[in-house]
Amino acid sequence: MPFYAALHSESGAAREFLLQAAGQAIQCPEMTSTRLPNSLDTFWMPFTPNKAFKADPRLVTRAEGMFYYTPDNRAVLDGTSGLWCVAAGHNQPKIVEAIRKAAGELDYAGSFNMGHPSAFEFANRLSDIVPEGMDRIFFVNSGSESVDTALKIALAYQVARGKPGKYRLIGRERAYHGVNFGGMSVGGITRNRMNFGPMVGGVDHLPHTHDITRNAFTRGQPKHGAEYADALERLIQLHDASTIAAVIVEPVAGSTGVLVPPHGYLQRLRELCTKHDILLIFDEVITGFGRLGAPFGAQYFDVKPDLITMAKAINNATVPMGAVAAKREIYDAVLSGSQTPIELFHGYTMSAHPLACAAGLATLDVFKEQRLFERAAELARYWENALHSLRDARHVIDIRNLGLIGGIEMEPRPGKPTARALEAFRACFDAGLLVRVTGDIIALSPPLIVEKTHIDHMVETIRGVLQRID
């Protein structure tokens, strides 16, 4: 419902909510000149067509389990775990209570030259589920920060071991590594980079692995494409391995449209990085914490990187947080090679925030007590079959899946890329389903508490929407 229509409707929870949103301006004369008539104007929304949204807003006011609820109490099934992040479902009582308790005991404590017990406890608990030996944990506040932190650790490691000439960073086309300058530089999404100048120097990119000609409608990992990893050899010939510090990839590229790695691809990257003394970084902001049915993608694919970035589901997205897990050898090298008391000049005011750590500890308890990682593995085949039942749906040209991730690629409208997907997003929301769209791809990643009936509802809603839209 458009903003003004909702605002001036005779009744309804939507009208009440929007009146409350504008109420501060209406009741405070000194603010009316800048805030009326539309109080939605003051929030500059991220990754959103602001003008279009504010003309026809999609608002939610609460969440529970698998559902968001709109101001008029209409349920919207969460097919995306918020933004890939609410893995345990919304409003888990144990997590909520942990945050409440922490707020009443220790509202803030910094991590510069002091600490608090829950930060060390959470780091220890995380070290139990990351790959063996990757038990040095650096806390940040988001996935973007975790990527930039991992890149800086990689560079600091090379300097610490006497190889400052190893400064180049290798990313991948169609990769998303957040929106800080380091992450944008190694990332490969054009729209995220084109307006912000030359990026960080010394960066190059591998080709992406998306090969719809050979791999369309693959169930799980594609058979074709492991050879794309060999492009690293070409970059090594161009730059020389003595100048390359690290390669960063997402085990499954999520935000660019669910690009699943071909069989053998990640294994080949690991071999080449080891051969040429290059660090391998897995960006597991999406694949971490059970999304594939294992704690991390590294364990699912049985490929051990040198650094892992994480965020999103680390504490069920209740308080902003992220982290980097590093091999012990990297940590030891940076500490022993430092010429100053502070070994790594990096960190954030909110690193290891007490509320975030409390939420993280409770989230790990929920994952374990409700067997959510195992549950994801058990549901993966049902999820796969349900998604691939859309193969004959209107507009669909490919379907991709792994664990509890799915991508449904649609044929773009001639001359109007992304338009069909955006229309599908709005139509799904109106039909009571939240999906994520990127390009002309519908991306799905439901909370790990999802039931088969929810999966069926998602698929049938999408089928109906695709049938209705042009």
**406-458, pLDDT tens digit by residue?**
999 999 999 999 999 999 999 999 999 999 999 999 999 999 999 999 999 99
HSE, CB side, 13 Å, CA atoms: give it for residue 242: 2
Is the pTM value of this prediction over 0.85? yes
Residue closest to 133 by CA, chosen among 299, 315, 339, 341: 299
**158-177, pLDDT tens digit by residue?**
999 999 999 999 999 999 99
**370-383, pLDDT tens digit by residue?**
999 999 999 999 99
Tell me the percentage of the chain whose pLDDT exceeds 90.
Answer: 91
**200-226, pLDDT tens digit by residue?**
999 999 999 999 999 999 999 999 999
Give the H or E element holding residue 98. Answer: helix 93-105
Tell me the percentage of the chain whose pLDDT exceeds 70.
Answer: 92
* Count of other CB atoms within 10 angstroms of residue 350: 20
Q: Is the peptide bond before 198 cis (omega within 30 degrees of 0)?
A: no
The residue-averaged pLDDT of 388-401 equals 98
Contacts 24+ apart (CB under 8 A), 120-123: 121/357, 121/361, 122/352, 122/357, 122/360, 122/361
For residue 39, name the pLDDT band (cuts at 50, 70, 90).
confident
| Domains, the chain | 3-90+372-468 (3.90.1150.10), 93-369 (3.40.640.10)
Question: What is each CA distance from 132 to 136, 325, 336, 400, 414, in whole angstroms?
Answer: 11, 11, 22, 30, 49
Helix, strand, coil proportions of the chain in percent (round to 5)? 45, 15, 40
Q: What are phi and psi of 370, to 5 degrees?
A: -95, 5
